[in-house]
Structure 1
Amino acid sequence: MKALVLSGGAGTRLRPITHTSAKQLVPVANKAVLFYGLESIAEAGITDVGMIVGDTAAEIEEAVGDGSQFGLKVTYIPQERPLGLAHAVLIARDYLGDDDFVMYLGDNFIVGGITDLVDEFRGNRPDAQILLTRVADPRAFGVAELDPSGQVVSLEEKPDRPKSDLALVGVYLFTPLIHEAVRAIEPSWRGELEITHAIQHLIDSRADVRSTVITGYWKDTGNVGDMLEVNRMVLEGMDRRIDGDVDTASETIGRVVVEEGARIVNSRIVGPAVIGSGTVISNSYVGPFTSIAESCRITDSELEFSIVLRDSSIQGVGRIEASLIGRHVEVTPAPSVPSAHRFVLGDHSKVQITS
């Protein structure tokens, strides 16, 4: 059995962060979202991974390498532009051959991994198996309709009027029969080959398509709110570990991780929180559900429920919360006179001002 991991896509909902970084590499608890998926694949006993890459291929390849750090053997499959999940299967045909495979969306996060799902698929070997979860607003997802017995009746991609609240999670398992289906379908109104259409083709052909409704935690980390929520959830599961230097004037409370090489000076850290190596926090407060990556500087500031990427500096700005701060960012106070706000903002930024 192989894995097909999708790591292309523009990540428009995470702009401006994704103007300069692949969305799959934005860190959760100081580890790239993509890495959690690769670890889950390895834990399920799968070693051969085909990785679909696009415009951010160089960055993905630099981070993942040959996959050996995860116990995997990774083969990169370029996709000229994102033309749908079924298109990814189509261009991976030669790599996948006649093997069964799991397709994993690289920006999805599933607590507990996929081992049980893979074992179930191997034991029963239906033609396709999909994961479903109940969501508040299914219009943003692929949606499944089940009959009273739980059999999959139909699938729709981002419907205006969903027939259920069961959304497709970004993990699919297939036998080679899916290759016939992706060749049989036409592009949707979005100009993409939809995997929901390919699976519907299997259903219409009376293939054995099964579903599993999961009740555990799942997130598509496609926007800032979801990133912060996943970060919160992962941090809650971390154990306290102080490998860096915390001076006697500082206080760490609860599940706090201070990596080796980090320094905490005259500051208060309330967990769950993680402080990356080489980061210096001085005269500051870091509150719960905060991840600060390596080589950052936090001075005379307060930070809570936020993610700060590497090599960034926050100095003397009072309180920051519910924020995603990119790499090599400088946040400093504006001049007090005249009273004004001064910004350098990327495309599609959103700013909230209280004064």
Structure 2
Amino acid sequence: MKALVLAAGSGTRLRPVTHTGAKQLVPVANKPVLFYALEAIAQAGITDVGIVVGPSSDDIKEAVGDGSSLGIDVTYICQDVPLGLAHAVLISQDFLGSEDFLMYLGDNFVGGGVAAFADEFRRTRPEAQILLTPVPDATAFGVAELDADGHVVSLEEKPPAPRSDLAVMGVYLFSAAIHEGIREIKPSARGELEITHAIQWLIEEGRDVRASVHSGYWRDTGNVTDMLEVNRHVLDAASGEIAGEVDSESQLTGAVRIAPGARVVRSRIEGPAVIGPGTVVTDSRIGPHTSIGEDCEITESHVGASIVLRGSTVRGVPAITASLIGRHTTVTSAPAGDTTHQLVLGDHTRVTLAR
């Protein structure tokens, strides 16, 4: 079995961070979201992995390399224009051949991994198997209707009146039959080849299409709110480790990871939290549920429930919370007595200021 990881999306809901980098490389607990997907694939016993890349291909290739550090062998497949999930499969035909494969959307986070799901597919050998999860409001998702035996009866994209509460997650398992379905479908109203349409074609042709219901943790990290929620979830399960320097005037509580080369001076770190290599935290309070990337400077500030990416500076800011701060960003306080705000912001930025 092979795996196909889709990492060509532009990440419009994470702008401006994704203007200069791939959304799949935004870190959760200081590790790119994409790496969690690749590790889950390796844990499922799949080592031959194709990664579909787009405009940020150079960044992804630099981060992942040949995949050997993750226990996999990577082939890169270029999708110049994002024309749908089924289009990504179509352009990957040479890599996939006639083998079964697992398809994983690279910005999804699946708690517990996908090994059990892959084992079930290997055991039962349907022509397609989709991973579903119950959601409170299914109108924002692809929705599956199942029969009493767990076979998929129908798929519908963002229905106004869902027939079930089972949302389609970003993980699928296919036999080579899916290629036939993709050849039979036409672009949707939005001009894309939809994988749900190809699966629906298999259903209508009487093929064996099954589902597994995932009751554990799952998030699509396509927006800031979900990215911060996944960061919280991962940190809650993390253990502490002090490999950097912490002076005697600092206080650490809970599970705190201080990477090698990081320094904490006269500060309070409330776990769960992680401080990246080369970062210096001085006279500050960090956490809980906060990830500070490598080579950052946090001085006389409080940062909580946030993600700060590499090379950024936060100086003299009393309260930052629920924030995603991009690479090489500077956040500072105004001079004493100045009640105005000075902002230099890129496109698609969102700022909330205290009154």
TM-score > 0.5 by shorter chain: yes
Per the alignment, residue 139 of structure 2 pairs with 139
Per the alignment, residue 161 of structure 1 pairs with 161
Q: C-alpha separation between the residues in 2 aligned to 1:353 and 1:276?
A: 27
Per the alignment, residue 182 of structure 1 pairs with 182
The number of aligned residues is 355
Per the alignment, residue 13 of structure 1 pairs with 13
Mapping of 1:6-85 within 5 angstroms?
6-85=6-85
Q: Tell me, yes or no, if the aligned pair for 2:151 and 2:208 is still in contact at 8 Å.
A: no
CA offset at residue 70 of structure 1?
Answer: 0.8
CA offset at residue 135 of structure 1?
Answer: 1.4
Residue 308, structure 1, aligned to residue 275, structure 2:
no
Q: Tell me, yes or no, if the aligned pair for 1:143 and 1:164 is still in contact at 8 Å.
A: yes
Per the alignment, residue 119 of structure 2 pairs with 119
Give SS of 1:94's match.
Answer: helix
Residue 2, structure 1, aligned to residue 2, structure 2:
yes
Could you list the runs of 4 or more consecutive aligned residues of structure 1 that deviate by over 6 angstroms after TM superposition? none
Per the alignment, residue 239 of structure 2 pairs with 239
Q: C-alpha separation between the residues in 2 aligned to 1:188 and 1:161?
A: 20
Q: For residues 85-134 of structure 1, what are the alpha-carbon distances to aligned partners after superposition, in whole Å with 9 as ceiling and x for unaligned?
A: 01111111111001000000000001111111111111111000000001
Q: For residues 6-26 of structure 1, what are the alpha-carbon distances to aligned partners after superposition, in whole Å with 9 as ceiling and x for unaligned?
A: 000110000111011100000
Q: C-alpha separation between the residues in 2 aligned to 1:137 and 1:334?
A: 43
CA offset at residue 162 of structure 1?
Answer: 2.2
Q: Tell me, yes or no, if the aligned pair for 1:16 and 1:348 is still in contact at 8 Å.
A: yes
Mapping of 1:201-240 within 5 angstroms?
201-240=201-240
Amino acid at match of 2:197: H
Q: C-alpha separation between the residues in 2 aligned to 1:9 and 1:276?
A: 27
Per the alignment, residue 352 of structure 2 pairs with 352
CA offset at residue 149 of structure 1?
Answer: 4.1
Amino acid at match of 1:71: G
Per the alignment, residue 106 of structure 2 pairs with 106
The answer for unaligned runs of 5 or more in structure 2 is none
Amino acid at match of 2:287: G
Q: C-alpha separation between the residues in 2 aligned to 1:139 and 1:309?
A: 33
Q: C-alpha separation between the residues in 2 aligned to 1:13 and 1:139?
A: 19
Mapping of 1:274-289 within 5 angstroms?
274-289=274-289
TM-score of the aligned structures, taking structure 1 as reference length: 0.98
Deviates more, 1:336-345 or 1:316-325: 336-345
CA offset at residue 338 of structure 1?
Answer: 5.0
Give SS of 1:89's match.
Answer: helix
Give SS of 2:76's match.
Answer: strand
Deviates more, 1:301-310 or 1:129-138: 129-138
Give SS of 1:109's match.
Answer: strand
Per the alignment, residue 254 of structure 1 pairs with 254
Q: Tell me, yes or no, if the aligned pair for 1:126 and 1:208 is still in contact at 8 Å.
A: yes
Q: Tell me, yes or no, if the aligned pair for 1:242 and 1:258 is still in contact at 8 Å.
A: yes
Give SS of 2:202's match.
Answer: helix
Q: C-alpha separation between the residues in 2 aligned to 1:61 and 1:320?
A: 33
Amino acid at match of 1:257: R
CA offset at residue 257 of structure 1?
Answer: 0.5
Amino acid at match of 2:181: A
Q: C-alpha separation between the residues in 2 aligned to 1:266 and 1:339?
A: 28
CA offset at residue 336 of structure 1?
Answer: 4.7
CA offset at residue 334 of structure 1?
Answer: 2.3
Percent of pairs with identical residues: 63
